[in-house]
A and B are shown apart, each in its own frame.
Chain A
């Protein structure tokens, strides 16, 4: 099946720093990618929809100025957590549906962020 990669898989940072997470579709193009966040023992919550060549669409309650999303190509979306704080510590997962096949989403392996 299709492969989605994320980098880094783990990141530990100090409070107040910014962290960039990359999501790549390795063998297909994705005009849309999705960013989720999962706190312990909770479900995946959609944060935003990343659209290639245009602005991301953020879910209610997600600060667009804090979680910057860039979808510069058909295979790469980045999520930057700006001025990270301990409450941002979570498991961040991206997914990508092959173009035109929205029902099929391939998840990246996730990035675990710990903010000290």
Chain B
């Protein structure tokens, strides 16, 4: 059983702070990792993908991957109220397997 684990939250941060979202996974074979953002009532939208160990930055977002620890994280710098959403970690095995998501609340 391939599992993707996330803390359901909510994670509350003030506007301008750094939000740190974490995800662990069970299968060492995985090579492709994704973070999706899902607003309430909407379908997921891809924020970041990461395939190798280390950090990958895209604007205010940084994805971090540590395959030895089977851990992937997403940092959001200068958090904005519009970042309030549920963030889904997804791992590509033969198909995408999603975690349950972490709800992020950014307060003005």
A residues at B contact (CB < 8 Å): 34, 41-46, 49, 93, 95, 102-105, 107-110, 112
Query: Given contacts A103-B32, A103-B49, A103-B92, are A93 and B43 in contact (CB under 8 A)?
Result: yes
User: Taking beta carbons and an 8 Å cutoff, which residues of B are in contact with A?
Assistant: 8, 32, 41-46, 49, 88, 92, 95-101
With contacts A44-B88, A102-B92, A103-B92 taken as known, whether A110 is within 8 angstroms of B98 at the C-beta atoms is: no
Candidates B32, B41, B43, B99; contact of A108 at CB < 8 Å: B43
Prevailing SS type, chain A contact patch:
loop
Interchain CA distance A43-B95 in the complex, whole Å: 15
Expressed in whole angstroms, the Cα–Cα distance for A12 and B55 within the complex equals 45
Give 5 CB contacts A-B under 8 Å: A44-B98, A46-B95, A93-B44, A105-B96, A109-B43
* Cα(A49)–Cα(B93), bound, Å: 14
Q: Which residues on A sit within 8 Å (CB–CB) of B97?
A: 46
In the complex, what residues of A have CB within 8 A of residue B49's CB?
A: 103
Contact between B45 and A34, CB atoms less than 8 A apart = no
Is the CB–CB distance between B96 and A46 below 8 Å? yes
Q: Contacts A102-B92, A103-B49, A103-B92 hold; do A43 and B43 have CB atoms under 8 A apart? A: no
Asked whether, in the complex, the Cβ of A43 is within 8 Å of the Cβ of B42, the reply is no
Cβ contacts under 8 Å, B96 to chain A: 34, 46, 95, 105
Q: Looking at A41, A46, A93, A105, which has the most chain B CB atoms within 10 Å of its CB?
A: A105
B48 CB to nearest A CB, Å: 12
For A108, the chain B residues whose CB sits under 8 A away are: 43
Which chain B residues border A104 with CB–CB below 8 Å?
A: 46
Which residues on the B side are within 8 Å of A43 (C-beta)? 88, 98-101
Given A34-B95, A105-B96, does the pair A44, B44 have CB atoms closer than 8 Å? yes
